[in-house]
A and B are shown apart, each in its own frame.
Chain A
Amino acid sequence: MTPAVAQYRQAKAEHPDAIVLFRLGDFFEIFGPDAERAAPILQVALTARDFGRTGKLPMCGVPHHSVDAHLKRLLDHGCTVAVCDQLEPAALARGVVRRAVTRVLTPGTLVDADLLEPGRSQRCVALWAEDGVTGVAALDVSTGDCLLAEVPGGLDGPQLVSELERLDAAELLLSEEAEAPAGLAPGALRSRRGPELFAAEPAVARLRQRVGSSELVAAGVGGWHAAQVAAGALLGYCAGGRLSLPSGFLRVRAQAPEETMLLDPATRRNLELVEASGPGGPSLLRLLDRTRTPGGARRLRSWVQGPLRQLAAIAARQAALAELQQARGPRAELRAGLAGCRDLERLVGRCIQRLAGPRDLAALRQTLVRVPQVAEAAAPLAAPLVATARTTLAAVPADLASVLERALVEDPPPTARDGGFIRPGYDPELDRIRAGSEAARRYIADLERVERERTQIRSLKVGFNRVFGYYLEVPNSHRQPLPPDYVRKQTLVGAERYLTPQLKEQETIVLSARDRAAVREQACLEQLWAQVEDRAAALTAAAEALACLDALQSLAEVADDLGWAHPVVDDSTRLEIQDGRHPLVEAALGPGRFVPNDIGLDGAGARIVLLTGPNMAGKSTYLRQVATITLLAHLGAAVPARSARIGLVDRIFTRVGAHDELAAGRSTFMVEMAEMAAILSAATPRSLLVLDEIGRGTSTYDGLSIAQAILEYLHDHPAVAARTVFATHYHELTALAGSLRALRNHRVEVVEEGEGPGARVTFLHRIVPGGADRSYGIHVAELAGLPRAVVRRAQVLLEDLEAERRLPSDESPPRQLALPLAVAHPVVAELKALELDGMTPLAALQKLAEWQVRARGDEPVE
């Protein structure tokens, strides 16, 4: 076994779960099963080398200068990476070059700006379930923000899934004994550690040591045991990864589940909250994002992912946004000021982790200089949210900016390695080194002239080469005697080269000054880090204030730009929107093309909208816009409508669009039914249900029956008396309006000219009261391009089916498929009206026979 292989084995033993990158020459190599895993991710060729007696060893490699890009790719795929680098330059090594693991990177514990997305957090989330509650501790190492929550249910609870989506979990920390379902944060890396990390008492003690008990109580987590254990485990994990989290930097805050709206992953996808569904357009977040700083983008993202549920919080944001929307001058100033601010939060984090370079500190300086400007821009605004942020910004001590200004040059180099970033006059020691070096350099520069005078040798020269350094060269043709301090070093053909002790001394000063200066500058850098850390609390508070202002101005800017109006949000159960539009569809269509629509649910009388009509006429868009507008209202933001009045909603459920999970072995219908089951069990009277085409994936009668049953259940059961918009292609269901009093029929308006297959059908995209009387499925098929012969035949078959099914005493409008509904059979009515007293047994028997005939005649022909 070669020494290098031994080094590799050692690194791998220390980090068995990680992909080890091993520096060999100009490359980082990956061996064995790691290589097989990494090669497709990095898209490099997988080769092999002979390995002792055991055959071939797979390997792949990446060049060392571009390793960061590859690291990012590995981390994005949820891998842990250990970088085993050379500790000394190869040229100076004796024997095998010393190597050791210098960096251990996991997706949830990154601080490196190159490896992080500016617009989103990548949190490490620890989970600990006990006593029917799961404690969640979510830490963003780059900013020190630690969120604690307690979610009812175990690790397989549905609420946990929503929470983790909202938290942008990049890594899950779990006990080895815990069983976490696969569907929990599927994109995140699972890190399992032994149960000793999660042992309750040591974990809580670890947390209390870092964050005092009083602070925990102040944050509201004093009684949350499970969450505290999770947090303690997280801190232990970070300590193992050599991550520093000093007290001023680590901020604990509580997230009560009642504070934000519950949105399951399907809803987040359907409403395109943070990810667009297709390559077509932006997501809602992208549409709303006009932030100027990465911190603001992250803040906006967390707002969008967690809509508010408390009226007071919504009102506070509304007040700020309404004011900002009108105050165009201050808003423009605010945007200008924020544009110069950098990612203050993460810059402070890098200083604390002792990773910040000179350019990071320059960015910090630039931001601190801008802070007063931002505060001033916000000065004319009265809303409490803005005023609080401004007060925080005004409280930022100005001295750090002065220190950084004095310490750093205008335009620092990218790395600290070679120095050159500390200004003269900041550090006396550094100045001394530089002055000494400068003096020595001047001495050498002057030497030629001085020595020529001293020795009177006109042809004396001062030279430099790599072997001897500086020397005095005297041609052989000289006559004068040489000074005694000349020591001969080298003889050339026509000259001799000499050194003097003083020359050597000065030379040493010059050559070593560079290194000594670099060392001293590094010390200054560390001093600056310490100064930043001392002010960490004020700086991170200021960063949060900046982020808050940035997110507010972004929402106000969008609302002003697109002409959105502020809704009234109250604690009623209304859902009234006038001239509502779907923001993403409207943006895609272009200006002035989207047909707006209303909805009017007043909670008491009308609670369920049954929407019928052809496909492709805007039903799905209408559904999604109702949900999206409700969600935006709960952000405190303006909505794309002329006006709106929305009662508080605690959860939004959507069941829109079909997607097979064939890979998981479930059909469309199965998925749909599973989702409906979840919805029906979780909905509350304050929820909003948006359901599209329930019962689609199965046979007509099954689907129709299920749909009707669900509607009745939603209507009748007080536990799920939620506001509902139910779109369906079963126009037969419109008859339910007779028996379900809180149900209102609406349809998508269609204009038909002519009859039969040649009829011209125009979709008006308007939702109007009343039920549709047909499905227009065949017209849509025609539009889609089915051959005319197929369309004509289908039309004929439809007419036959409709004619056959018509009940003689059916009073519903013509052309409606008369399928058995919850309408009492006429026989039953007659039975109820029958007068038994005056009937003879024979008459009764005759009646029975007659009814039997009629009952049989009603049965559908297969």
Chain B
Amino acid sequence: MVTPGGRIRVLPPAIADAIAAGEVVERPASVVKELVENALDAGARQVRVEVAEGGRASIRVSDDGGGMTPDELRVAFGRHATSKVASLEDLSRIATLGFRGEALASIGAVARVEAVSRRPGQAAAARVVVTAATVEGPWPDGAPAGTSLTVTELFATTPARRAFLRPARSEALACARVVADCALAAPDVAVELHSEGRRVLRAPGSGVLLDAVRAVFGAGAARGCWPVAEPGDAFDVVGVVGGPGVARGDRAGLVLFVNGRRVQQRSLQAAVENAYRGLLGTGRHPLAVLDLRCDPEGVDVNVHPTKREVRFRDERGAYAALERACWAALRRTGGAATLQLGPPAAAGASSGSAPSGARPVVGPRPEAAVAARPGPALEWPAATPSAAGLPLAEAAGWRLVGQLHHRYLVAETEDGLALVDQHAAHERVLYTRLRERLERRDTADGRALPVSEGTGAAQGWLIPELVELPAPLVAGLPQAAGTLARLGIVLEAFGDTTVRCTASPSGVRPSDVARLVAELVDEALTERPDGGVMRVHRLAALLACHTAVRFGDALAPAAAERLLRDLAATPAPLTCPHGRPTVIRLGDAELRRAFGRPAG
């Protein structure tokens, strides 16, 4: 309540600190972030984080880094006290994560902090207790080398802030995200998180990014990732990208760093997602952990109080570098599925292995014998030859052997065998063509353009098909007519809730027309937050799926060969629009291994 006639007064330091602290310390996760970054800057090899009630009750971060002397402990909690910068020039060359000298002061202003620290080589540790920015101590204590900070009573003196804290579970989740980011940023540091007494994360600190990815995202995700190492002039990109098989339904798998500092920058995220276009189904987001590295002078990190966004001197360069690196990695590995047959030969195994070394490929339990894996499962960097992905343009040179069960095409590749899922492959071909058609500027009157043969020519209906649609869709039909016409569908309103379809692409079965029309109209009319970018994709994918040859359709050899050639000519031919593989290849080496033959 403002007292009338109040005068301007200088705030006492404690209150000033608390206000300033509010910028840095929003919630328990901010405390965790600051403390963990301090630990990393102190050269720790092990960092342990324990939170109770999501951090609302207590947060404890302990590390085995350089530690602090008793004097350092005493002054560390004052404002603008830092070991990270000493001059303004330092500010433009920031190599550490923390630098403002605010973190500990802020935390000490809004919580109770107990800090125990010992430098290696000293016998005694020192302990201080900070409440409301006043420091008590230091007293001697017994502790391992390193520092441990316990933060309790967070926001006890600012009840308004405390009331705004989310429930324990949400805060715990935020803390977990922060710790996971730190683990991914520093794969050579062992990072652990204990929540409510249970250990929920442990990154082993082996120096291998994949181990950290495995710890955070699980073994299944780690299996589907490939390395990225793209040096450039101004920007280097290092990290891992996951294949379509490990795509997620949310953006939590997209973890980006700039010079090791976690950022949440829309433009950079878009760069990565762009590189995946066409590889992922709708609503799916890639798994990617990438560090964009550049000269510290080329990026300003002092922009945002929570350091979540940064400013580049060369914004476009950063975007391009990131997108290019992802695209190159995805393309290089091909994203193709390889089939594992039989036990892989151990390094140095003698070529004349006994028959008992081979297993029946189709054993009593199918899932035990065959497992499709997206690429090399275990160690990298050297991708195995079979996964290095011959460019599929060479598929034009494949010799078609035949059609299998009316489901798959069997082709002879240069040194082995390829199996093509006829539906997925045809889907991809049609999808590409439809997208082109939709993205091309249409003719002035929006009529259906003549379509070439073999791509689902529009077929007129002798007896027009009537389709029931919800009224709003019928009302919006004029809007969608042009787009649909480009796809080869001609619709006209025929009552409040009925439309008449007089032409649809060939290949669509009469029984499918109703559903297809409903979906297409719905999609064409739906508001899209991204301004329609996804609409084109979805329409094309929908129609492609419905009109492509199905499992069970017999294909004449000429048609099958044409499909192969069309597939070879398609960009991004290795997955269907839904992300499933179109081609599985077995090279000579794998076949020989499966049959227990010596390597050729």
State the A residues within 8 Å of B (CB).
326, 328-330, 332-333, 336, 369-370, 372-373, 375-376, 379-380, 382, 387, 390, 394-395, 397-398, 401-402, 405-406, 560-561, 563, 590-596, 749, 751, 753, 762-766, 768
Contacts and interface: CB of A to CB of B under 8 A. Distances in A.
B356 A764 contact: no
Nearest to A562: B202
B48 A591 contact: yes
A369 B364 contact: yes
Nearest to B125: A764
Nearest to B223: A329
Nearest to A581: B144
B222 interface: yes
Given A329-B219, A762-B140, A401 B204 contact: no
A528 B516 CA distance: 55
Nearest to A396: B356
Given A401-B363, A593-B62, 10 more contacts: A326-B206, A379-B346, A401-B364, A402-B364, A590-B50, A591-B48, A591-B62, A592-B148, A749-B142, A764-B140
A563 B365 contact: no
B347 A749 contact: no
A328 B205 CA distance: 12
B317 interface: no
Interface residues of B, number: 48
A592 B357 contact: no
Interface of B: 46, 48, 50, 62-64, 123-125, 139-146, 148, 190, 192, 194, 202, 204-206, 210-211, 214, 219, 222-223, 343-347, 356-357, 359-360, 363-365, 368-369, 377-379
Contacts of A380: 344, 346-347, 378-379
B346 A563 contact: no
Contacts of B139: 762
A51 to B, nearest CB: 59
Contacts of A382: 346-347
B197 to A, nearest CB: 9
30 contacts: A332-B219, A336-B219, A369-B368, A370-B368, A372-B368, A372-B369, A373-B368, A375-B343, A376-B343, A379-B344, A379-B345, A379-B346, A380-B344, A387-B346, A394-B343, A394-B357, A395-B356, A398-B360, A398-B363, A402-B363, A402-B364, A563-B190, A591-B194, A592-B63, A593-B143, A593-B148, A595-B142, A763-B142, A764-B125, A764-B142
Nearest to A387: B346
A329 B377 contact: yes
Contact of A405 (B64, B219, B364): B364
Contacts of B347: 380, 382
Contacts of B343: 372, 375-376, 379, 394
Contact of A328 (B123, B190, B214): B214
Nearest to A372: B359
Contacts of B359: 372, 398
A506 to B, nearest CB: 37
Nearest to A394: B357
Contacts of A328: 204, 206, 211, 214
Contacts of A394: 343, 356-357
A593 B141 contact: no
A846 to B, nearest CB: 53
A592 B140 contact: no
A837 B377 CA distance: 95
A595 B143 contact: yes
Contact of B202 (A373, A375, A561, A766): A561
A560 B204 CA distance: 7
A813 to B, nearest CB: 19
Contacts of A397: 356
A680 B358 CA distance: 58
A561 B146 CA distance: 20
A336 B210 CA distance: 19
A739 B346 CA distance: 60
Contact of B140 (A329, A405, A590, A751): A751
A375 B349 CA distance: 14
Contacts of B205: 563
A703 B346 CA distance: 63
B346 A369 contact: no
Q: Top 6 A-B pairs ranked by shortest CB distance?
A: A592-B62, A764-B142, A405-B364, A591-B48, A765-B142, A751-B140
B361 to A, nearest CB: 11
A592 B48 contact: yes
Contacts of A401: 363-364
Contacts of B210: 329
A560 B211 CA distance: 11
Given A326-B206, A329-B219, A394-B357, A766 B142 contact: yes
Nearest to A397: B356
B144 A764 contact: no
Contacts of B222: 329
A695 B513 CA distance: 96
A192 B185 CA distance: 67
Nearest to A331: B219
Given A326-B206, A563-B46, A768 B368 contact: no
A179 B359 CA distance: 56
Nearest to A368: B364
Nearest to A618: B142
B134 to A, nearest CB: 21
A402 B369 CA distance: 13
Contact of B214 (A329, A590, A764, A768): A329
Contacts of B369: 372
B462 to A, nearest CB: 49
Contacts of B346: 379-380, 382, 387, 390
A405 B365 contact: yes
A329 B142 contact: no
B506 to A, nearest CB: 44
Given A369-B364, A372-B368, A332 B144 contact: no
B319 to A, nearest CB: 33
B214 A332 contact: yes
A668 to B, nearest CB: 30
Contacts of A375: 343
B390 to A, nearest CB: 25
Nearest to A398: B360
Nearest to A375: B343
Interface centre among B139, B142, B148, B359 (most CB of A within 10 A): B142
A764 B141 contact: yes
Contacts of B50: 590-591
A764 B204 CA distance: 29
Contacts of B206: 326, 328
A764 B211 contact: no
Interface centre among B46, B139, B343 (most CB of A within 10 A): B343
B123 A330 contact: no
A762 B123 contact: no
Nearest to B49: A591
Contact of B123 (A405, A406, A768): A768
Contact of A762 (B141, B211, B365): B141
Nearest to B365: A369
Contacts of A560: 204
A382 B141 CA distance: 47
Nearest to A405: B364
B144 A593 contact: yes
Nearest to B346: A379
A764 B123 contact: yes
Nearest to A336: B219
Contacts of B378: 329-330, 380
Contacts of B356: 394-395, 397
Contacts of B223: 329
A118 B451 CA distance: 70
Contact of A376 (B124, B194, B344, B365): B344
Contacts of B142: 595, 749, 762-766
Contacts of A763: 142
A305 B310 CA distance: 58
B198 to A, nearest CB: 12
A859 B360 CA distance: 91
